[in-house]
Amino acid sequence: MSVISVKGLRKHYGENEVLKGIDLDIEPGVIIGYIGPNGAGKSTTIKILTGIISDFEGEATVLGMDIRRLPVEVKRRIGYIPENAALYEVLTPMEYLGFVGRLHGLANEVIEKKSLDLLALFGLADKADQRMNAYSKGMRQKVLLISGLLHNPDIIFLDEPLSGLDANAVILVKEILAQLKKAGKTIFYSSHIMDVVEKLSDRIVLIHQGSVIADGSFETLKEQAHSGSLENIFTRLTGSGEQEGTAGAFIDILNG
Amino acid sequence: MEIIIMTLLRWSRPLFRGSGIDHDQVMAIVLVKLKMDKRRVYMNWRAGQQKKESNQLLRALFFYALMGLFMGSLIFAVDNYLTVMVFLHGYFLFMMSMTLITDFSAVLLDTTDNQVILPRPVSSRTLFVARLLHIMLYLLQFAVAISAGSWIFTFIRHGLVAGLVLMVTSLLTVLLAVFLTWFLYLSILRFASEQRLKDIITYFQIGMTVLFTLGFQVFPRMINMVDLQGSVSFGGWTYALPPVWMALANEAFASHIFDVLHLTMIGLALVVPLVGFWVLNRFLAPVFARKLSALQGSSGPDMPGADVDRPRQASASISSRLSPIFCTAGTERGSFETGWRITGRDKGFRMQFYPGLAYILVFFFIFVLRGKGDVMENWRGLPGTRNFLWLIYLPMMTISSGFTLASFNEHFNAAWIYHSSPLERPGELISGLAKTIIVKFFLPVWLILSAVNLWIWGIGVWDDVLFGFAANLFCYFCFVSISEHYLPFSRQPNVRQQSGRFAKTILQLLLVSALVGLHYLLVDHGVWLLTAVPVLALGTHLLIRRIRGLHWAAIKI
């Protein structure tokens, strides 16, 4: 049984059609790498699947529930970590996590214990009671990660989760994702960083201009595109192979 | 405060039973929002003077209450009950709308909510109730702060009934203010982008700051100056004004007049705010939310609504046309033009500098028109005085602060560009910025004030005006030259307290007073004034040369 099922998903902002009919079926316990160039519709897809955007065309079922009819039920069991570290900056991480935990109906003591322990694991124990407007982007991203996982969700949606993190934190997050998968969670992972996607994902979905143009394991994609790395596959399939020419023109202008 | 709200919220639990609204979530959201309200920076007083950790909300409320006491004292100062009531309700309506526009806009336009709460399992009804509760609690705090003074004085002077009626009508006025503000937002959003709306709000905020400044400085003096004992006369159209409804409603209960007019007014006072609030909740709020989320959804990099400046091919900007006139080297010109643009666009700079300009007006009132007797008499007596000296030297102190302000910027990190550039004499950056401030702010203000001077005191003061101009420039560049040298827009805001700053301010004051004193002595000796002009001009020129030639060693980081 698939844990996420999408049929004919379309979405447009005014004239601008962002998604042009996406079909997806995702089994539980896998890591999906969802990649595509800027503006391909990655974030929009995730926002629809997490119930944030509700006006779209087509069908979307998450955990067997229609996302349009039961958004709150779905939200109870998924976690979402957005890319542009938006959180209430004037709060401290403990206050923020306490707030998020209460929205999920967790008991105060549980939230406090979990939050402190998780912050400590990320090396933020000494800053747990400092307001976040003084935080760096990486520190905020860590708080967002915790806030998305606090309620132990079944599916985790991540939108560029590694942006701003330092190398050690990247390794830690990758390891956490791998272990979450082992515990049977489904991970829907959207990113630009190709080598991370390549190593982490069981299945890669490549979208371009609102449509899926490749879907399969890394090996399948490699065969399809006859090239060695995900980066090469990406540039081939998204038809932006002119980088070499562009770079040449760039140098010419500098010399001019 | 918090405890009262907590208990109230806890008591409200039974109300939510069976309504599909999650009481725990409502409480969590309301409490977190009230907590954030306390930490937001309020526009009630000059921004930048505020300490970081203190309770900003309490501070704001305190200032509102203080203003409210001033206004409330009118109840004793003015005998005509109706006049006072019209005036007070007008004041409530105005202050509440301004508060909503300036401070609450941060809440209304904040879309962090959507990103933080929407992904969570919160039903839309729960969220709606939580938001409504929060808005009501927030408004109640301000309503009480603004009007408490008047309530107390009314209870004392006019008794229990009048006081209670005033409480009701002032709360109704608050509802009306909410309705009007929301309506204003919607109409702006209808025609302008979100960016434009935020710009407009910035100007309201500047206006608000000016108003508070003026209020505290001028108002206590005005009470003595203006004759407030007269009564308001009512014509046909005045009955359309909400403060008039409220005032007549108050009068009805205070003097037991219940004729057709008063009953109609009571009706209007009750019905319009309540219906307005209902319409707001029912129709306007959803439209507003949709508009706002639509703006969010479409605010991609290539969407309209982003800040787009005039196309490059179009005629050159003012700053790039002025820079060759006032500047020599390429670096200085660059700094002049960039300084011109940033001072016009940076919100932090505008918020702190423009209210300072209003001080010129305040000082004008205080110094030029001070004296016993009434304003008109002082005004007619002006040509016989030497008060034009104030007008000549007033703008400099304010505008030279603009130079200091311009060394601060939210994006102070961007100043790395100066350090990585192959600059030999960073002094050119400083002189360029100093000239921008002069040309952009000092020249226009000074021209206007000179025109006023010549108009009031006659063409005969032209030599004083000329000397004043030279003296002002000399002073300004002295100030730039003796202050610590920072690169433009390179310092982090809120770390302002430096040692030695006081001493330099004193030095600057001494210099200005010396020049003003000299001017005062020479007022009747126009020839001497005119001979001094070239000397001052030469001095200014040398000062600019010195600033331009500053080496890296002289720059503070």
Using CB atoms, pick whichever of A14, A72, A88 lies closest to residue B121.
A72
Residues of A in contact with B57 (CB under 8 A): none
Torsion angles phi and psi, residue A23, rounded to 5: -120, 130
CB contact under 8 A, A88 and B24: no
Query: How far away is chain B from the Cα of A241, in angstroms, using its nearest Cα?
Result: 23
Give the residue from chain B lying closest to A84, CA to CA: B115
Q: In this complex, do A99 and B39 lie within 8 Å of one another by their Cβ atoms? A: no
Is the CB of A82 less than 8 angstroms away from the CB of B119? yes
What's the pLDDT at B128? 77
Whether domain A4-85+152-255 has CATH 3.50.50.60: the reply is no
Contact A114, A147 (CB under 8 A): no
The pLDDT, as a whole number, for residue B212 is 66
Q: Please give the backbone phi and psi of residue B486, each rounded to the nearest 5 degrees, phi first.
A: -115, 150
List beta partners, residue A16.
A13
Cβ–Cβ contact A186 with B under 8 A: no
Put simply, the answer to whether A52 touches B114 (Cβ < 8 Å) is: yes
Rounded-to-integer distance, Cα B93 and Cα B67, Å: 14
Rounded CA separation B452/B305 (Å): 41
**Which residue is closest to B36 within chain A, CA to CA?**
A90
φ and ψ at residue A223, rounded to 5 degrees: -65, -45
Residues in chain A, overall count:
256
pLDDT value at residue B213: 64
> Quick one: DSSP state of residue B304?
B
Contact yes or no for A104 and B116 at CB 8 A = no
For B202-227, the pLDDT digits (tens) are: 777 777 767 766 666 655 555 554 44
Is the minimum CB–CB distance between A130 and chain B shorter than 8 Å? no
Q: How far from the centroid of its chain's Cα atoms is residue B404's Cα? A: 19
B116, A86 Cβ separation under 8 angstroms: yes
Angstrom distance (rounded) from CA B54 to CA B48? 13
Q: Are B512 and B472 in contact (CB under 8 A)?
A: no
- Best of B6, B34, B115 to substitute, by most chain A Cβ atoms within 10 angstroms, is B115
Nearest CA in chain B to A49: B119
What Cα–Cα distance (Å) separates residue B53 from each residue in A185, B57, B59, B421? 42, 11, 12, 38
Q: Identify the pLDDT of residue B2.
A: 67
A 27-56 near B (Cβ less than 8 A): 39, 50-52
Domain ranges of chain B: 71-292, 321-556
Comparing CA positions, the residue from B518, B376, B395, B527 lying closest to residue B452 is B395
Q: How many C-beta atoms surround the C-beta of residue B444 within 10 A?
A: 11
Digitized pLDDT (tens) for each residue of chain A, 256 residues in all: 789 999 999 988 877 888 998 999 999 999 999 988 888 888 889 989 988 888 889 999 999 999 888 888 898 899 998 876 678 888 889 988 988 888 888 888 888 899 999 999 888 888 888 888 878 888 888 898 899 898 899 999 998 888 778 888 888 888 889 889 998 999 999 987 788 888 888 999 988 888 888 888 888 877 776 766 777 777 777 766 677 788 888 889 998 8
Give the pairing type, strands A65-66 and B555-556: unpaired
Judge whether A75 is closer than 8 Å to chain B, CB to CB: yes
CB-CB neighbours of B64 under 10 Å: 25
Q: Which residue of A has its CA nearest to B111?
A: A86
pLDDT digits (tens, 9 = 90+) for B102-138: 766 666 666 677 778 888 888 877 887 888 788 888 8
A99:B28 CB<8 A: yes
Residues of chain B with pLDDT below 70 are: 1-2, 18-19, 41-56, 103-111, 192-195, 209, 212-237, 281, 285-286, 288-316, 366-378, 494-502
Task: Give pLDDT, residue B118.
Answer: 80
As a whole number of angstroms, the distance between CA B532 and CA B543 comes to 16
Which of A72, A86, A87 lies closest to B123 in CB terms? Answer: A72
Helical axes B347-363 vs B194-225, angle rounded to 10°: 20
- The secondary structure of chain B in percent helix, strand, coil, rounded to multiples of 5, reads 75, 0, 20
Structure-derived torsion over alpha carbons of residues A162, A164, A169, A173, reported in degrees to the nearest 10: -20
